[in-house]
Structures are given as structure tokens and as C-alpha cells.
Amino acid sequence: MSSALVHLLGVLWVCWWLASTGEAQIEYLRYKDPKQPVATRIKDLMSRMTLEEKIGQMVQIDRSVANAKVMKTSFIGSVLSGGGSEPLPKATAEDWVNMINEFQKGALESRLGIPMIYGIDAVHGHNNVYNATIFPHNVGLGCTRDPDLAQRIGAATALEVRATGIPYVFAPCIAVCRDPRWGRCYESYSEDAKIVQEMTEIISGLQGSIPVNSRKGFPYVGGKTKVAACAKHFVGDGGTAKGVNENNTLIDWHGLLSIHMPAYSDSIIKGVSTVMVSYSSWNGAKMHANRDLVTGFLKNTLKFKGFVISDWQGIDRITAPPDSNYTYSVQASIEAGVDMVMVPYKYDEFIQDLTLLVKSNIIPMERIDDAVERILLVKFTMGLFENPLADTSLVNELGSQEHRDLAREAVRKSLVLLKNGKNESTPLLPLPKKVPKILVAGSHADNLGYQCGGWTIKWQGFSGNSDTRGTTILSAIKSTVDPSTEVVFRDNPDNEFVKSNNFEYAVVVVGEPPYAETAGDSLALTMMESGPNVINNVCGTVRCVVVIISGRPIVIEPYVSTIDALVAAWLPGTEGQGVTDVLFGDYGFTGKLARTWFKSVDQLPMNVGDPHYDPLYPFGFGLTTESVKDLVARSTSAAISVRACIFTIMVTLFISLYLTG
């Protein structure tokens, strides 16, 4: 009996041990269990993390310095592609997926297996990627006054970004550009805060619409076809003095709240996952070190619960000159409330400095925990723990015809007709498709890179037609006109050439070269050098429509009187047929200026409502036209009505004569 009892007790002990260790194993995996509440998963994971693992989550590095080993040993929380940073030239969606999965596998091999989040700029479509659909830049979209269109563009962009295995975008830019001399003005929807607020609907497209009864401020990403978005650049980046990039915004608290802040409130209500801090300063205080605004207002007052990310080497620029006291920059930015730092190269130095600051009790552990909890909240919310690896199931979404059709719609709705005919009785537009011969001229007529602008394939954009796929305006014209119409193209024709040919009319396409950020800052705001010459040579001889390709209003006053029709086409992107859709009357012009068009740069800054407001074309201006189809229908209807009226009169006269006779 005693032997049997001992055996029984042994079996019971083994069962108890197996049960207890099983429970421990379940407990250990709690943060990986999608059935657990997100708060429980975060708490469980945080309790297991070392300081080094927490600080690693706060680091974002560029793909050029990332590899599986670095991800594993440094516990890196995020990787990004800077402007133009790609796996290889003309990389396919599969190339992107393979690269990102390599980094992700390294992260998953770390002790706790926390997935990294890959981020990329997608400011007008998936703009870094070959063959992607490039939508009009925000300066054009603001002229549509169409938040639903913005939402649909967001959804299409999310699909194309996910097609390459990327779950996070640094978009939208919700700056309110108050001075077109700013090199980033084309990233702004409008000088008017209300339009910018309305266009934050793009966030619902990127991330998905938040569920009913969602808690205010909490991030939301609706599954594997959506991406985490980033509202940028907090705050006041569009108001810097003289439009100088990264400069000082001089404005009182009321002005900051009423002009530059409203779109952030709307973005937070829509569940935006992240917010990026601006390089710029507010009344002399660097935003990357501004605790009152980043922690005090954004996090505490607006109740933003996602994570705050720095701009590219943004913390370095807290000091003047940049990087002159890196340890101080790390301290100032983290204390201000920056949660994730876009390093992007010297991650070892950042990790060492932040670790020392925490261990020296200069930065409290509570601040580190707050940052990491916010980062983990976004990662859990977007399902990154359940689906850390990308696949190729969405590769056909990249540059799909459906998305190109949407971009074409966006182009035609964004165009603003500023002039149509030298007098109201003789409008030039819509142009006839069937004529003997027409001239297409200008530096921007057959240049896809110029058409797309900065932040396209490369950081500063490109020139020519080979860097990605799309339709130039010249190609669109050739495919739109009647086959019998001869289309002659000259980049910069002289006066004699124009005179010696019997052109029915001319389409002149001129504007700015591509640029991004500080490289685009301009005090002169003039078009490319050949532009005025082309306008004078062509429009002085033949009826012409001038199409301006630019990221902002530019100087056009000296030439307006010689132009028959003038169109602001902004930076339309890859779908040039959106331009010809309205030039030739398949659709009517509907766009309205979301920016004031000045007479002279001496007037700047000048925005609607200013006491000295005296524009060439005011905010909200935009002539409208009817499509040819509608014109024909209306004239046909009118003709039928006239014929019916004549018939009625004749019948009435006949009856009258009969009765009197």
C-alpha cells in the first residue's frame, strides 16, 4: 500500500508541476495573446522589458544602416526609408517586401520578439516607389474642396503602401502654409485652417474610419489593408517668418490655436496613430524641445494617446549649430515628450546617451515607460504582433488602374481656371479636338518629373520620363485630340517658328522645377527661365492656353494680358490625362483657389482677411466651364424648346386665323 501511495503522490506531483508550468507558460505568452485586452498585453510586456529593450523601441533608423543582426541585438523599434531610400533602383513590390521581412525577422529573433514598425513618406501616394500612383500634391487637393476625395486617396495610398509590406506612413502634412515662399508650401492644403481641417479626412482613408464610441485620442488602424498615419509637423511649420523652412513662427497663443492647431484636434478625433514634431520654432522655442506644447497641450489637453516621433535628425537641430551638444539634445527632446526618435544613422550614440541619462536619474523612468507604452499601443492596435511579416498578396495594388483613374479624377478636380478668353464673349476653353494643327510648347509639357514635383522617387524629385510610370501632358494631348489633328511639340519655340506655321491654337506648359524642403525656399517665386520667353513667343502670335505647373502661386502678372486662357495645374502627379480631361471639355473646371494668388512678392505674406489684401486672384476664385457633353445637351434642349415654341405660335396663329375667317 505504501508503495502504491508513493506512486500516486508522485503522479499527482507531476500533474501539478505540469499544470503550474503550463499556467506560467500561458502567463508568459499573455502579451502575444490577441484575446487579451491591449492594456493587459502592454502591461505584461512592459514588465518583462529591460531598460535597453525599452530604449531600443524608441529608436528609428534608416534602412541603409539596418540589418537583421542590428534589429536583434539593439532591439530597434522602427526602420524607415528616407526620401529616395529604396532597396534597389526601380525596386518591385516584392523587392520591398523581401527587404522589410529581413529586418522584421531580426526583430522577431530578439529576446521578447517585439516586431518593428517600418515607416515611409507617402505624401502624395506611395511616392518613393517605382510604378506607384502619384496623386496631386496637397496644394492641388485643397482646391477640390472635396474631403471624400481625400479619403479615397488615403485608402488607395494605404493599399499601395501595404503592397510593398509597409504598415506606417509619415502623412498627412496638415501644415497651414501662410507664405508661398516656403519650400514646403505644396505639402499644405490651404492657407485657410478650415480647409486643412476638412482634408484630414484622408486619415480615415489611410487608417480606416474609427469604430463608434472609440475613446478620444486613441490610435486606430483597421487591419492589413490600412496603415498607421502621422499628422505633421507639430506645430506652426507653415507660419515661419518669410516662409523660411525650419525657421521661427512668430504668432501669439490665440493665433497658434486658431490657425495652426485645429487640424491636429481633428486628426486626433479621427484616431491618428502618430504625430511628428516640426523642425521649426514657436516664438524662439524649438518645437523638438517644447514640453509645454508636446506634452502639455498635445498629450494632456488634446488627449493624444499615440506616439510622438521626431523629424529626420530633428533632435540634433535643437542646438545651434546642429549636433553641437548631442547629449543635451537627447535630454531636451525626450523630456519634451518625443517618444520615438528618427535618428536615423548614429543609433549607438543615441542609445548610449539616453541610457546614461536614465541611469543618472536625469530622465525619469516614468518618461521612458510612457514613450514605450505609446509605441506598443500603436503596434498592438494595428495588429503588428499578429501579422508582423508582410506578404505579396497585395502587390497588384501598386499602380493599379483603379488608383490611376482616381488620381486622374483628383487632377481634373484640382485644376483652377484663372482666365478664359481675352474678353468674356470669346472664351478659348474648352479646346476643340478636331483642328488641322496645334502647338504644344514649354519645359513642363513632356516631363513627368516636373509634373510630379518634389518627394517623388527621390527626395528632391526628378527630371524626365524614365524614373517612374505615368502620362505626361503632351502624351495626354496626343491621345485626346482627333487622329487627324497634327500635334507639334517644341520645348522653346522662337517667334518665327510660331508665325510660319498655321497653328489653330497652342497649349503652353511652364512652371517651377521640382524641389523639397529648404531647397524650395524662394524669395522671387519665378517660373523656370524659359517660361516667360515661351509665353511671349507663342501667346503673342497664336491663341494660347497657359498651364502653370507649380507648388504654389508664382509671378505671372507681367504675362497675363497676352494669355488667352490661364490654368493653375499645381503638381498633378503621374496622371496627365486629368489635365486634358478639362482642357478639351470632357469635364468642366470646378477647382477654387485654396491659396491667394498675389500680384507681387512684395505683398507677401498676404492671406485672405488681411488688411492689405489686394490679390491678383483672391482666395476662392476659380472660373467654371461646362463639359462639351453638357453644352451640347443644353443647346439641344434649348433648340427643342425653341422649335416647340415656334410650333405653338404657328398653331395658335393658324387657329386664330381660322376662327376669325
How is residue 293 written as a grid cell?
506644447
CA proximity to 598, closest of 587, 589, 606 = 606
Residue at grid coordinates 474631403: 147
Preceding omega of 34 cis (within 30 degrees of 0): no
517 is catalytic: yes
Secondary structure class of 336 (helix, strand, coil): helix
**Residue 38: Cβ within 10 Å count:** 15
Cα atoms in the 13 Å half-sphere on the side-chain side of 293: 25
Q: 3-class secondary structure for 534-564? A: HHHHHHCCCCEEEEEECCCCCCCHHHHHHCC
Nearest-angstrom CA–CA distance, 567 and 539: 14
Return the H-helix or E-strand segment holding 118.
strand 117-120
CA proximity to 316, closest of 345, 292, 339, 294 = 345
626 is catalytic: no
Q: Are strands 285-286 and 486-490 parallel, antiparallel or unpaired?
A: unpaired
Nearest-angstrom CA–CA distance, 587 and 150: 20
Catalytic residue among 53, 187, 237, 311: 311
- Which backbone phi and psi does 84 adopt, to 5 degrees? 80, 0
**Residue 542: Cβ within 10 Å count:** 20
What single-letter amino acid sits at 378? Answer: V
CA 176 to mean position of chain CA atoms: 14
| φ/ψ bin of 335: left (φ > 0), alpha (ψ from -120 to 50), beta (otherwise) | alpha
Q: DSSP letter at 623?
A: B
Residues 447-457 as b or e (16 or more Cβ within 10 Å = b): bbbbbbbbbbb
Catalytic residue among 146, 353, 517, 521: 517
With contact defined as beta carbons under 8 Å apart, do 414 and 96 qualify? no
* Residues belonging to the active site: 311, 517
